[in-house]
Each structure stands twice: as C-alpha cells, then as structure tokens.
Amino acid sequence: MRPLASIAVALVLTAAATDTRSHQTASGWDYPFECCSGADCAQIDARAVREIPSGFVVTVAPGQHPIWSTERREPLILEIPHQKARLSPDGKWHLCINDAGEMLCFFSPGGGS
C-alpha cells in the first residue's frame, strides 16, 4: 500500500472511532455513551435546577443548552425523579437531552437519593 493511501485509511478509521465515542465535559470527564451522541449533553447553570421532594425541576431557557437552541420559543421544563439523577464527577449540573427535549441523562452534584 502506498504511504498516502495508508494515511488516508488511518484517518478514516480514526474518524469512525471518534464518532462512536461520547464527548467530554469542560472539566475533562467523558459523558457516558448512552447519554449522548456528541452534542446532547452540556453543563447547565445551577440556577436552572430546583430541588423538590420527589426530585428536581430543571428549566432550560432557549439558547442555554446546545440542543435547546435560541430558535425554541419556550423554555424546556423537566421533572426528574431523584432515582434518575446520576452523581456528577465534577460537582456540577449536567443535562443530556434529545431533539424533542426528552431527558437522556441528568447529573447532579449530589447524585440521586
């Protein structure tokens, strides 16, 4: 195989492998694969989260999450039971949602109950 062809094959394989991984948080830990496909997860402001007896109410204003862009007219409001919350490795709040605004994963500094 010619050197340029070898490099091209290596680049394609590397790109394919990268596409199947989840992405990292700003603090460097990887979101679990089942939570995201490269853009579904993001750190959210602590002011967006309110704890209630049964869990959390998360309010994401348009433009405050990569999936919930400024084109959305209404905030996304999610009620998340304590048992659905995962412990956040960096002590910050993170939310993973799909295009419909459904929760995929939620990370709490204190985890669930």
Domain ranges of the chain: 23-108
Does the model's pTM come out above 0.85? no
Tokens 């985890």 label which residue?
111
* 3-state secondary structure (DSSP) of residue 11: helix
- Residues 35 and 41 sit within 8 Å (Cβ to Cβ): yes
Tens place of pLDDT per residue across the chain (113 aa): 555 444 433 333 333 333 444 588 889 999 998 998 777 999 999 999 999 999 999 999 999 999 999 999 999 999 999 999 999 999 999 999 999 999 999 999 986 65
